[in-house]
Structure 1
Amino acid sequence: MINLKIDPEFQSQIPPLTDDEFKQLEENILKEGKLLSPLIVWNNTLVDGHNRYTILQKHPEIYFSTMPLRFENREEAIAWICQNQLGRRNLSPEQKRYLLGKQYEAEKKAAKIFRGNQYTLAKKSGGAHDDNHHSGKKTCDRIAEENGVSRASVLRASHYTRGIDIADNLSPGIKQKVFSGEVKFTNEEMSKLVQASVEHRSDVLAQILHPEALEVLESASAEFEPEKAEPVPMPTPQTEEFRCYHVPDEFMKVYKSLSRATEMMKNSWKKTLKNNPSYFTDPEKQKVLRFAMQRPANYLTEIETYLEKALAEALEGEKTA
């Protein structure tokens, strides 16, 4: 039994087996007593066959062989893994879309690395590289043809893949939830995440994952019109019910001024929270939000306390007089 290196990035490109699929694979290998297909390796690093290698570690008596492949760099290895996995029949649409985009992105990076080397493809083969495969077709067109999709589908898959990787970096484990169908993202949502600035990506992801939070915010921030000429009904709390108090004209100036201040605060909070929706869903960020909410709430409570005290003093003064 040889010890092969496991590269987490290589392994993460391979869609995981379900428990039943893994169990069935293990039973088949034990029945055969050997691996029918060799493990693919690159410089003693496992490239393909991670599930089978896990089973081998449990059953070292099983005979197996390895097949070394040569890659110029790790991006070429990733592209090969994706291309190999795309040949599987049991991929979900999300897995296929991700692998399609990952292969394209990996081959583009491999091409850039290769062009940056001292020896160019032109010197090695007599032809120009320029993002072309040795067949002469552009990478995007070739991958599209190999998988029976359009060129536009490959480009959309590229944005989708980059978005999934960003989402998984922000929220580890989310890629597997996408592959299992527990979470679904559209191409448009992933493009929005890719195009967002680095500092805003967590909020964009929160907005995508929890759109209901924004709906609540929009509902709570309905338009207010303090400029109406007619008196505006103001609910006043009573014992168990509310009655309407109409602001007299001579009080309207003060009422409008305070109403504008309230509206300015609402709009400011609405804008800030709309741009930072993760403060609704992240427990640590919620603490900051709640702390910020305490200040205006405490101030209004202080005014309410002062009003009650001032009114009580005024009534006491009238009795004394």
Structure 2
Amino acid sequence: MINLKIDPEFQNQIPPLTDDEYKQLEENILKEGKLLSPLIVWNNTLVDGHNRYAILQKHPEIYFSTMPLRFENREEAIAWICRNQLGRRNLSPEQKRYLLGKQYEAERKAAKIFRGNQYTLAKKSGGTHDDNHHSGKKTCDRIAEENGVSRASVLRASHYTRGIDIADNLSPGIKQKVFSGEVKFTNEEMSKLVLSSPDKRQDVFAEIMHPEITKAMETANADPKADEPVPMPISNPEQFKGYQVPDECMKVYKTLSMATEMMRNTWKRVLKNNQSYLSDPEKQKVLRYAMQRPAHYLNELEACMEQILSESIEEAEKTA
């Protein structure tokens, strides 16, 4: 059994198989008793065939072969992976758009590296070198023609891909949810994320994921007569029976209440997708630990309010 290196970046460009697809692939390999197609490698690093190699790890008796390919750099390898996937698999529109953009970005970087090396060689030798590998049509036009799409589609895919990578960094696992169709993003949303400054991306991503909450908050700020939001929790609810928020305080009240609603919706969504955290004692510790911070903040805020009120009363009594 040859131990091949697994490069996470290479592996992440390959759309994952469903459980049924993986099971069917394993059954086919076991039935044949060997791999019909060689694994593609670059300097002992696996480039294509990650699912088949995972099955081989479970069944070392299966015969397989490798086919080495030569790449000048990692970007060329990534571009090859994307081009290979685009040409041979049934892909969802999201997967195809992502791979299209990733191929374009990788080939652009590879071309820059090539030109840099070409310049260095030319300077050392005093001559020039023919750009055979990168000659011909521009990268964008060539990729568009290869995939039967417009040049604009490739450029939009580039922004989409970069946006998905940023989103996956902000919320690990979101890319796979996009590929499975559980989550959908538009080109415009991903462009907005890409063009935002790094310190604002978390806020932009939250707006994209929860547009209904953002819209509700904007409505609350703009219209003090909007529908009542969910009240914030209080330590003594009896004292607020029949209480009406004064009109001049409504804007602040609604904004704070909407923030509470946003937190509640986030918790509900996360727990709905991770229900074991409600029943597993060890995972419950994680929830209780996460609950400490908001609870501690609200308790501190209430204590601070009581302290300021007490000091105000004392000051008023002194001057009375």
Moved over 4 A (4+): 238-244, 262-270, 277-309
Structure-to-structure mapping, 1:79-90, within 5 angstroms = 79-90=79-90
Structure-to-structure mapping, 1:269-308, within 5 angstroms = 281=266
Structure 2 residue identity aligned to 1:31? K
Partner SS for 2:121: coil
2:165 corresponds to: 165
1:125 corresponds to: 130
Distance in 1, Cα, partners of 2:109 & 2:163: 17
Q: Cα offset for 1:213?
A: 2.3
Structure-to-structure mapping, 1:104-123, within 5 angstroms = 104-117=104-117, 118-119=120-121, 123=128
CA contact (8 A) 1:221 1:267 kept: yes
Q: Deviations over 1:134-159 (max 9, x none)?
A: 3x100000000000000000000000
Structure-to-structure mapping, 1:39-188, within 5 angstroms = 39-117=39-117, 118-119=120-121, 123-125=128-130, 133-134=134-135, 136-188=136-188
Mark the CA change 1:219 to 1:302 in structure 2 (over 3 Å): closer, same or farther.
farther
Structure 1 residue identity aligned to 2:208? I
Rg comparison, structure with higher value: 1
Structure 2 residue identity aligned to 1:110? A
Distance in 2, Cα, partners of 1:216 & 1:287: 27
Partner SS for 1:40: strand
Q: State, as a whole percentage, how many aligned pairs show the same letter.
A: 69
Report the structure, 1 or 2, having the larger helix content: 2
Distance in 2, Cα, partners of 1:184 & 1:196: 19
Distance in 2, Cα, partners of 1:224 & 1:90: 51
Q: Cα offset for 1:300?
A: 6.8
1:230 corresponds to: none
Partner SS for 1:5: coil
Q: Cα offset for 1:61?
A: 1.0
Distance in 1, Cα, partners of 2:210 & 2:307: 35
Could you tell me which runs of 5 or more consecutive residues in structure 2 were left unpaired when the two chains were aligned. Answer: 226-237, 268-286
Mark the CA change 1:306 to 1:8 in structure 2 (over 3 Å): closer, same or farther.
closer
Partner SS for 1:87: helix
CA contact (8 A) 2:220 2:254 kept: no
Distance in 2, Cα, partners of 1:160 & 1:86: 16
Q: Deviations over 1:186-208 (max 9, x none)?
A: 00000000001011111111111
Distance in 2, Cα, partners of 1:69 & 1:166: 30
Structure 2 residue identity aligned to 1:100? L
Q: TM-score normalized by structure 1?
A: 0.72
CA contact (8 A) 1:82 1:103 kept: yes
Distance in 2, Cα, partners of 1:287 & 1:144: 52
Q: Cα offset for 1:294?
A: 6.8
Q: Deviations over 1:85-124 (max 9, x none)?
A: 001241000000000000000000111111122236x944
Root-mean-square deviation over aligned CA pairs: 4.0
Q: How many residues align?
A: 275
Distance in 1, Cα, partners of 2:214 & 2:96: 31
Please say which of residues 186-195 and 277-286 is displaced more in the overlay: 277-286
Distance in 2, Cα, partners of 1:40 & 1:90: 20
Q: Cα offset for 1:170?
A: 1.1
1:232 corresponds to: none
Q: TM-score normalized by structure 2?
A: 0.73
1:251 corresponds to: none
CA contact (8 A) 2:220 2:251 kept: no
Structure 2 residue identity aligned to 1:199? D
1:28 pairs with 2:28: yes
Structure-to-structure mapping, 1:229-268, within 5 angstroms = 259=248, 262=249
Structure 2 residue identity aligned to 1:221? N
Mark the CA change 1:53 to 1:296 in structure 2 (over 3 Å): closer, same or farther.
closer
